[in-house]
């Protein structure tokens, strides 16, 4: 017997592996070379900014088309409810989820301009008293804002400035103004004496709150439902630009609800 101490073969394998010299049969041990880790190519700074801008533009376009859109009031046809220089938010979801139609491409932002919409999911119909933004029937490149006075099936009439809906006087003094005391004959101008007319299906009769200085359904007819862009619900900024510079911003109108 030799004086060597027998060790388990497993110990020899472990030793060989650790030393990296021989394997169990005494042959030189062969080890795989560590494979190189492929690093993904890093995006250039220009590409990162470009992708961020594209995503932001697409998100802004989607919000503008489906959720909410900002408008500026350029005229006094809705005084006293809305003043010239008011910036308002219009909800696209007030009446349902709308899918744009009658669209055309243009070389500005947004790159697509849509002139109508169809309801995918309907939440409700426009109601009398709603302040809405819509495509102006005589020039659909323009957006108008007015208040709904007559809904489908209603009969609307004006008698000496008084508005009647279905033969009942419309109580509108709390949100309208009439600055001209004179009365115009209906055969000359429909401002003060008009109708009666019945609002057809899928259409609305609208008027400005500044009754004596508003170009509305009395002059050019009804608004089709698919041409309504949304319901105005809040003033987020108001700028007069008149008087002393401290009065240019109408701070008291910030966040005011449109009723």
* Active site residues per annotation: 77, 146
**Partners of 72 in the β-ladder:** 87
Q: Where are the beta strands (DSSP E) in 123-173?
A: 131-135, 143-150, 155-159, 162-165, 168-169
The helix (H) or strand (E) run that includes residue 218 is helix 217-220
3-state percent helix, strand, coil for the chain, nearest multiple of 5: 20, 35, 50
How far does CA 228 lie from the centroid of its chain?
A: 13
* Main-chain dihedrals φ then ψ at residue 203, nearest 5 degrees: -140, 165
Contact present, 70 and 90 (Cβ < 8 Å):
yes
Token pair of 146 as six digits: 């007015």
β-pair partners for 254:
none
Question: 155: number of CA atoms within 13 Å, CB side?
Answer: 5
Q: Which residues contact 157 (CB under 8 A, 6 or more apart)?
A: 163, 164, 167, 194, 195, 196, 197
Round to whole Å and give the CA distance between 78 and 176.
Answer: 8
The torsion region of residue 192 among left (phi > 0), alpha (psi -120 to 50) and beta comes to: alpha
The single-letter DSSP state of residue 251 is G
């Amino acid at each position: 017997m030799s004086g060597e101490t027998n060790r388990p073969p497993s110990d020899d394998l472990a030793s060989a592996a650790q030393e990296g010299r021989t394997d169990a049969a005494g042959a030189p041990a062969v080890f795989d070379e560590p494979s190189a880790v492929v690093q993904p190519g890093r995006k250039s700074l220009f590409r990162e900014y470009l992708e961020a801008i594209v995503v932001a533009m697409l998100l802004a376009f989607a919000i503008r088309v489906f959720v909410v859109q900002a408008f500026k009031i350029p005229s006094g046809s809705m005084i006293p409810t809305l003043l010239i220089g008011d910036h308002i938010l219009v909800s696209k979801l007030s009446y349902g989820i709308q899918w744009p139609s009658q669209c055309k491409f243009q070389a500005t932002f947004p790159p697509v301009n849509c002139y109508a919409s169809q309801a995918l999911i309907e939440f409700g119909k426009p109601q009398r008293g709603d302040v809405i933004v819509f495509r102006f029937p005589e020039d659909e490149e323009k957006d108008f804002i007015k208040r709904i006075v007559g809904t489908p099936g209603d009969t609307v009439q004006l008698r000496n400035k008084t508005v009647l809906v279905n033969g009942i006087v419309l109580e509108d003094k709390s949100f309208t103004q009439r600055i001209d005391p004179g009365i115009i004959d209906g055969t000359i101008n429909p401002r003060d004496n008009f109708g009666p007319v019945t609002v057809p299906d899928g259409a609305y009769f609208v008027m400005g709150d500044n009754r004596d200085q508003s170009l509305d359904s009395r002059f050019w007819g009804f608004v089709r439902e698919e041409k309504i862009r949304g319901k105005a619900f809040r003033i987020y900024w108001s700028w007069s630009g008149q008087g002393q510079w401290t009065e240019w911003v109408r701070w008291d109108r910030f966040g005011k609800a449109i009723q």
